[in-house]
Amino acid sequence: MGAGQEPPGWFERALAEPHESRRVTVGDAAIHYLLWSRDTELPGLVLVHGNGAHAHWWSFLAPFFLDDYQVAALDLSGMGDSDHRDAYTAELYAEEVISVARDAGFGADTIVIGHSFGGFVTIQTAIRHGDVLTGVVLVDSPVRPPDYQWERDPRRSPIRRKRTYPDFATAAERFRLMPPQDCKNDYILEHIARHSLMETDGGWTWKFDDRLFEKITISNSGEDLRRLPCRVGVIYGEDSYLFDQEIADYMFKVLDESVPFTAIPEAQHHLFLDQPLAFVAAVRTLLAEWRHSRPNRRRPALG
């Protein structure tokens, strides 16, 4: 990660937007979230980060949606400033998302946007709480075909064991995106790294629970995708390592023709880090269409 890149004006203005830092208890864990709201009568938008990430991955993007929405970005348990758990489940993660929406005062017109692992959490939230959601947007969150040849060992945790560093600067310099990719927007990486670290007795280390994937039960299947009871949108990076054309074709087939799929050019898996304004434009276009049209997606029969 480089240093010294001057942040653009839009980025600094976004971070200067007033917001609250709040907590809500779900089960035995305190869940931290950020809330932006200019008008409490507006519908809610909940942003769900990816694996090992936190709410501040969204804090430079959330203000772009405030003309039409109140926005909440949460730290899932085991990540960010939320508590760690002895066990993590799909049910608990879905309850965390919907509890944040309720605590923020959002109504039955809420939309959830989830990136990567957060997309799987978003799917589970929709399955369990679709009656209070207008729709969900899956952001580079691949649901793979049953016979997909994935070169990685599925038993290997995507979270590496944490190290402790002697000082903040040394730790921040070790920040890396996972899966690895280049990102020219160093000012964004520096912002995210700053909120990824915590001080301990021995120095500085990462906030996430590095044993999370040893304690988790969550599915990622086409059957879950097929059961979604609300509107769905899919946005992905055209150059994403995780979201290739085979996966896009499979998800399009499992869903139906009314579900929009939008590829962001020149974007990899962490698409709103390398192409933030293109991502904002794609999301705002999708949400504007939803506000001015009726859903025509076939709702599945749930039993």
Q: Is 185 a domain residue? A: no
Q: Is 70 a domain residue? A: yes
Q: Is 187 a domain residue? A: no
- CA 172, CA 168: separation in Å to the nearest integer? 6
Q: State the total domains in the chain.
A: 1
- What residue numbers bound the domain in which 64 lies? 13-140+215-291
- Other Cβ atoms closer than 10 A to 83: 17
Name residue, tokens 């990719």. 181
> pLDDT tens for residues 132-184?
899 999 999 999 888 766 544 444 445 678 899 999 999 999 999 988 899 99
* Domain at 124, CATH number: 3.40.50.1820
Q: Is 20 a domain residue? A: yes
Q: What confidence score (pLDDT) does residue 144 get?
A: 87
Q: Is 116 a domain residue? A: yes
Q: Determine contact, residues 230/257, Cβ cutoff 8 Å.
A: no
Q: What confidence score (pLDDT) does residue 173 get?
A: 93
Q: Is 237 a domain residue? A: yes
Q: Is 151 a domain residue? A: no
Q: What confidence score (pLDDT) does residue 296 get?
A: 64
**Spans in the chain with pLDDT lower than 70:** 1-4, 148-159, 220, 296-303
Q: Is 205 a domain residue? A: no
Q: What confidence score (pLDDT) does residue 156 get?
A: 47
State both tokens at 204: 């500085």
